[in-house]
């Protein structure tokens, strides 16, 4: 490994470490990338088609909006100008390209699963957004943009065939998840919410992106959840899922499936229903912060003597159950009993059964029922109010 590579590796490691330090979320639900038992693979309807198209056709789909190149689950574009240049050079040299994987929606859109860097590079280059540099095999074209290349080179790039693997809408979701899990571009596997964001593209993904970016939400969690891997959007989704479904009747003990069903339901909602969700979320986030400020949705860290040493991390199970209490109670009730509810919150986060229901195996149905009921009972206990 040369000095330049060593430097790049050190910088990358430093970025990862810094990102981890900003991640304050505490999630013990076990919601990892879902895997499904296939059973007999010969009986699974794997509807994945192979297709080929020229770079010219591929870019035309991009410009017409059929190709969705940057859904929110995709990692940011990270290739350097040198990497982009080498990729273009590989095409000119006739080297084979790795296949591109896309997920076809019912609207006939193509959502990129694997191929973001290559697709972005192609589009930027054919639109003269960067000039080639540091090429060693074809040094004569260093400094040239696409329009400045000889026509023979331009034609070679545009006529280059791209191999596409297209997951049809009829492909079972377990197959889609399996593919997401197996494709591991750059050594970073996608998180559960990143996968959902690619599968359930539509009103649900737009809603989650909008709400997670709101200042009132960032304030309510005091920026305690990093947006880097969509953990903030997953938190929003978990709140909405328990809002639109009856947790006692509809939750079967599988958090991943529950959240998928919520995204499916949101995608079928009308604008009025979605607006109601937005206003409810805004109201709850503002109210909870008004009550608990920077202690909102956190279990404090205690020393051996029971003294608080820090406010602790954001806890998603605490977030869900406390938010639900605020959602179903009126502003009048909450404000009249504000001081009592604040005291009750201190009791709630030290209650043995509530702690157990929010700290271990939190995805089980019994734990879900326990924490939601205790939040309602303890926070809403105003019997001592004079």
pLDDT band at 324 (very low <50, low <70, confident <90, very high): very high
Task: Please answer whether residues 231 and 225 qualify as being in contact, where contact means their C-beta atoms are separated by less than 8 angstroms.
Answer: yes
Q: What percent of the chain has pLDDT over 90?
A: 57
**338 has pLDDT over 50:** yes
User: What pLDDT, on the 0 to 100 scale, is given for residue 77?
Assistant: 62
Q: Does this model's pTM top 0.75?
A: no
Helix or strand (DSSP H, E) at 219: helix 215-220
User: Which has the closest alpha carbon to 16: 212, 195, 187?
Assistant: 187
User: What pLDDT, on the 0 to 100 scale, is given for residue 202?
Assistant: 84
Burial 324-358 (b: 16+ CB within 10 A, else e): bbbbebeeeebeebeebbeebbeebbebeebbebb
pLDDT band at 42 (very low <50, low <70, confident <90, very high): low
pLDDT digits (tens, 9 = 90+) for 51-64: 999 999 999 999 99
User: What pLDDT, on the 0 to 100 scale, is given for residue 190?
Assistant: 66
Can you tell me the mean pLDDT for 335-342?
96
pLDDT digits (tens, 9 = 90+) for 228-240: 778 899 999 999 9
User: What pLDDT, on the 0 to 100 scale, is given for residue 192?
Assistant: 78
Can you tell me the mean pLDDT for 5-33?
40
The set of long-range contacts for 89-96, using a CB threshold of 8 Å and a minimum separation of 24, is 89/132, 89/135, 89/137, 89/138, 91/55, 91/156, 91/157, 91/160, 92/138, 92/141, 92/153, 92/156, 92/157, 93/137, 93/138
pLDDT digits (tens, 9 = 90+) for 91-137: 999 998 888 888 888 888 888 877 888 999 999 999 999 999 999 99
């Amino acid at each position: 490994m040369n000095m330049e590579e060593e430097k790049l590796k050190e910088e990358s490691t430093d970025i990862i470490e810094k990102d981890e330090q900003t991640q304050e979320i505490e999630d013990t639900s076990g919601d990892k990338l879902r895997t499904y038992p296939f059973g007999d693979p010969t009986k699974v309807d794997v509807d994945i088609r192979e297709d080929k198209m020229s770079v010219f056709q591929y870019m035309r789909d991009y410009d017409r909006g059929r190709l969705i190149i940057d859904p929110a689950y995709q990692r940011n574009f990270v290739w350097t100008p040198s990497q982009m240049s080498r990729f273009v050079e590989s095409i000119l040299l006739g080297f084979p390209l790795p296949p591109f994987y896309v997920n076809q929606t019912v609207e006939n859109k193509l959502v990129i699963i694997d191929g973001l860097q290559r697709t972005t590079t192609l589009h930027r280059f054919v639109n003269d957004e960067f000039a080639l540099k540091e090429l060693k095999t074809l040094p004569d074209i260093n400094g040239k943009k696409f329009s400045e290349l000889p026509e023979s080179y331009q034609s070679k790039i545009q006529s280059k065939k791209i191999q596409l693997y297209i997951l049809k809408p009829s492909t079972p979701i377990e197959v889609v998840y399996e593919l997401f899990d197996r494709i591991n571009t750059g050594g970073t596997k996608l998180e559960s919410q990143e996968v959902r964001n690619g599968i359930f593209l539509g009103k649900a993904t737009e809603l989650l992106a909008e709400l997670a970016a709101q200042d009132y939400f960032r304030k309510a969690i005091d920026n305690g959840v990093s947006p880097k891997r969509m953990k903030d959007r997953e938190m929003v989704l978990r709140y909405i899922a328990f809002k639109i479904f009856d947790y006692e009747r509809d939750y079967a003990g599988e958090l991943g499936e529950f959240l998928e069903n919520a995204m499916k339901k949101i995608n079928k909602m009308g604008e009025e229903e979605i607006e109601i969700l937005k206003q409810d979320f805004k109201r709850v986030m503002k109210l909870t912060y008004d009550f608990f400020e920077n202690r909102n949705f956190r279990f404090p860290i205690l020393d051996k003597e029971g003294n608080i040493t820090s406010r602790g991390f954001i806890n998603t199970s605490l977030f869900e159950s406390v938010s639900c209490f605020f959602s179903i109670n009126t502003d009048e009730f909450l404000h009249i009993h504000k001081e009592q509810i604040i005291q009750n919150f201190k009791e709630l986060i030290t209650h043995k059964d509530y702690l157990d229901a929010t700290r271990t195996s939190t995805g089980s149905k019994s734990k879900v029922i326990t924490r939601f009921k205790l939040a309602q009972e303890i926070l809403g206990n105003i019997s001592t109010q004079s």
